[in-house]
Amino acid sequence: MYFHRDRGFAQPAASEITPQSVYQSRREWLRHLALAAAGSSLGAFAARDALAAPIPPRAALEGVHSDIGGAQTMEKPTAHEDATGYNNFYEFGTDKADPSQRAQSLKTQPWTVSVDGEVKSPRRFDLDALMKLGAIEERVYRLRCVEGWSMVIPWLGWSLSHLIKAVEPSGSARFVQFVTLADATQMPGLGSRVLDWPYVEALRLDEAMHPLTMLVFGMYGQVLPPQNGAPVRLAVPWKYGFKSAKSIVGIRLLAQQPGTSWEKAAPREYGFYSNVNPNVDHPRWSQASERRIGEDGLFAKKRRTLPFNGYAAQVGALYAGMDLRKFF
C-alpha cells in the first residue's frame, strides 16, 4: 500500500481531521517538548531520560502545519528501532550499526551553531536560543537514501527558512552551506579517509528557504538520538538522504556554489542537486525502486521510487527548465 497525499497546499487544519482528543494531547505534548527545551540551558538535552516521553498517540494525519500542507505522508512510520539502529553517519563508522553503537557518548551540550557569510546579522546561537526561533512541529517525511533504501520518519523541528530570515541574507547570498561536527576525540570514523572532514553539504538558497526544508531537533516524539544527528540536523525530503546533514555546527550563506563532501569524493556519482530521481540511475545501480526498511521479508516487494521522492507537487517548480540529467 502506498498512500501519498498530493493535495497541494490547500489543507484543512489538523483539528478538522484528527479526533479532537488526540490532537489536543499531541499539541500539549509538543508544547511540553518546546518548553522543556527552551526552559533552561540544561533543558531537554541534559535531561534526556526525563524527556524520553511516551510517543504520542498516532492519528491518521499527524502534525499538519499550514506551511507544508499536502506534503504530509500518511505512510506508516518506520519502526523506531530501525530508524535508530540502521544509520549512515560516517563520522562513527561506515557500518549501519556503527552509529548506534559508537555515537552514544556524543557530547551535545553545550552546542552552538554559527550562522554567517552573506548575511546582515551573523549570529552564533546556543542550542536553546536556536530552538526558540520557530515552533516545533511534527512532520512525517520519507527519507530515501541514495543506496536504494528508504524510511518514513516523524521529525520534530521547523522550517529552516525561519533561521535564514533571522540572519537577513544579503543580496549576494545564493547558496547555504552546512558544516557538521568533526571532532576526532569523539568520532572514531574521522580516522578513515572515505570522506573529507568535516562533512559538508549545501543547498541553493531557494531550496533552503522552501517550507519543506526542515531544521530537526527530534524524532518519534523525543530529542534526536546521537546516531540520527543530535542535537540538530537537516531534513530535505525530496533529495537523497546524504543532503540531510547531521550534527550541524555552522551554517554559511555564500555567493558561489560550494563543493560538498560526497560530490568531492565521487563527482560522477553524487551531484550537487541529488534530487531523488528514478529516471537518473547512479552509475553503479538503478534508482528506479527502493527497499523500505522494515519490509525486507522474503516476499516484500520493492517500491517504485517517485520523482522528488513524492514531493514533486511541492518542489518541482524550483527546477523548472533545468536539465535534471545534467544537474543530477
Ligand X SMILES: Nc1nc2c(c(=O)[nH]1)N[C@H]1C(S)=C(S)[C@@H](COP(=O)(O)O)O[C@H]1N2
From 60-68, 80-88, 224-232, 285-293, span contacting Mo ion (CB under 5 A): 80-88
Pick what 163 binds: ligand X, Mo ion, none; C-beta below 5 to 8 Å, kind-dependent: none
154 binds ligand X (CB under 6 A): no
Give the residue, chosen from 44, 245, 280, 306, that forms a contact with ligand X under the rule CB under 6 A: 245
- The grid cell for 188 is 572514531
From 154-162, 204-212, 244-252, 273-281, span contacting ligand X (CB under 6 A): 244-252
Strand partners, 223: 218
Give the residue, chosen from 145, 164, 214, 224, that forms a contact with Mo ion under the rule CB under 5 A: 145
263 binds ligand X (CB under 6 A): no
87 binds ligand X (CB under 6 A): yes
242 binds Mo ion (CB under 5 A): yes
Closest approach of ligand X to the CB of residue 182, in Å: 9
DSSP code of 188?
Answer: G
Write down the H helix ranges in 182-304.
205-209, 261-265
Residues contacting 28, CB < 8 A, separation 6+ = none
Closest approach of ligand X to the CB of residue 300, in Å: 19
Judged by CB under 6 A, how many residues of this single chain contact ligand X? 18
Nearest CB to Mo ion, comparing residues 88 and 161: 88
275 binds ligand X (CB under 6 A): no
Identify the three-state secondary structure at position 90: helix
217 binds ligand X (CB under 6 A): no
Nearest CB to Mo ion, comparing residues 221 and 241: 241
Give the residue, chosen from 30, 51, 64, 145, that forms a contact with ligand X under the rule CB under 6 A: 145
245: closest CA among 211, 210, 209, 215? Answer: 215
DSSP string, 14-36: HHHHS-HHHHHHHHHHHHHHHHH
Please tell me the chain's helix, strand, coil percentages from 3-state DSSP, rounded to the nearest 5: 30, 20, 50
71: closest CA among 57, 61, 83, 79? Answer: 61
Give the residue, chosen from 23, 89, 111, 175, that forms a contact with ligand X under the rule CB under 6 A: 89
Pick what 78 binds: Mo ion, ligand X, none; C-beta below 5 to 8 Å, kind-dependent: none
What type of residue is 13?
A
Strand partners, 180: 248
40: closest CA among 137, 135, 127, 163? Answer: 127
222-223/214-219 β-pairing = antiparallel
Binding site for Mo ion (CB under 5 A): 88, 145, 241-242
Interacting residues with ligand X (CB under 6 A): 87-91, 143, 145, 151, 180, 199, 228-229, 241-242, 244-247
